[in-house]
Amino acid sequence: MRKMDRIRSLLLIFILAPTALAQSPSLCFPRGSFSPTPRWDREEAKYMARYLQLLGEPCLFPLHSDPKPEVYRFLWMRTFNPPVSVRLDIQADGTGKVTVTTMQGESGFGSTLKGPTTVTSRLVGADEVVRFRELFRKTGFLTIPSIVRGDQQGTDGSDWRIEAVIAGQYHTASRWSPTSSKGPGKQAIAELGKALAFEIGKFQADSDEIY
């Protein structure tokens, strides 16, 4: 989806869901999370905050002021498939809880999105948490730039966004269709997204739906 396509989708979503509770984009994402251009950065933040709102997902950025929370989230926005959120909340005892949320429609076409959301959750064992933390460490996610100029090629594909809150830090980064193209940070984001969605979240998707 091009940025103008996203903005059109955003406007359609506002029309479709006027009763949803508003989330301030400035509370959901720090500046520069989407674009080096302030105008586009604000528009993209509005777009993503609205999707969080529709999915009933909380903003994670405010949690960075507290050193205790440890949360990871994968937002998967495929042009021709429903939006998916996979959130892993780590508990104090080293176990976790994963919450997978989706809804009907196609992420690239706001007018097709329909509620209610479908939410599934399960407890995550300490051994699973250890494996994910090790993968997270190996990817060096906290040092990956949030955005890379020229990352998106074409209009049909998917946006893979990872968010992490750990030890009083918040970081987010996204890449366009990282499983089918190469570029800085794409492998790391693809590995983390797959681990959250399929290994931890147990989300089911056909091979042709993973793009």
Domain ranges of the chain: 3-204
pTM of the model: 0.87
Give residue 25's pLDDT.
73
Answer for the pair 184, 141: CB distance below 8 angstroms, yes or no: no
- Per-position pLDDT tens, the chain of length 211: 444 344 334 433 333 333 333 467 778 999 999 999 999 999 999 989 999 999 999 999 999 999 999 999 999 999 999 999 999 999 999 999 999 999 999 998 888 998 899 999 999 999 999 999 999 999 999 999 999 987 876 678 999 999 999 999 999 999 999 998 888 999 999 999 999 999 999 999 999 999 9
Give residue 24's pLDDT.
72
Answer for the pair 22, 50: CB distance below 8 angstroms, yes or no: no
* C-alpha to C-alpha distances, 76 to 8, 30, 48, 202, nearest whole angstrom: 19, 19, 11, 14
Q: Rounded distance, CA 18 to CA 39, Å?
A: 24
- Sheet with 169-176: strands ordered across: 109-124, 96-106, 84-90, 71-78, 158-166, 169-176
Output b/e per residue, 179-211; b: 16+ Cβ within 10 A.
bebeeebbebbbbbbbbbbeebbebeeeeeebb
Give residue 153's pLDDT.
67
Give residue 9's pLDDT.
41
Q: Which of 140, 134, 84 is nearest to 107 (CA)?
A: 84
Give residue 174's pLDDT.
96
Q: Name the residue with tokens 């405010």.
A: 62
Give residue 27's pLDDT.
84
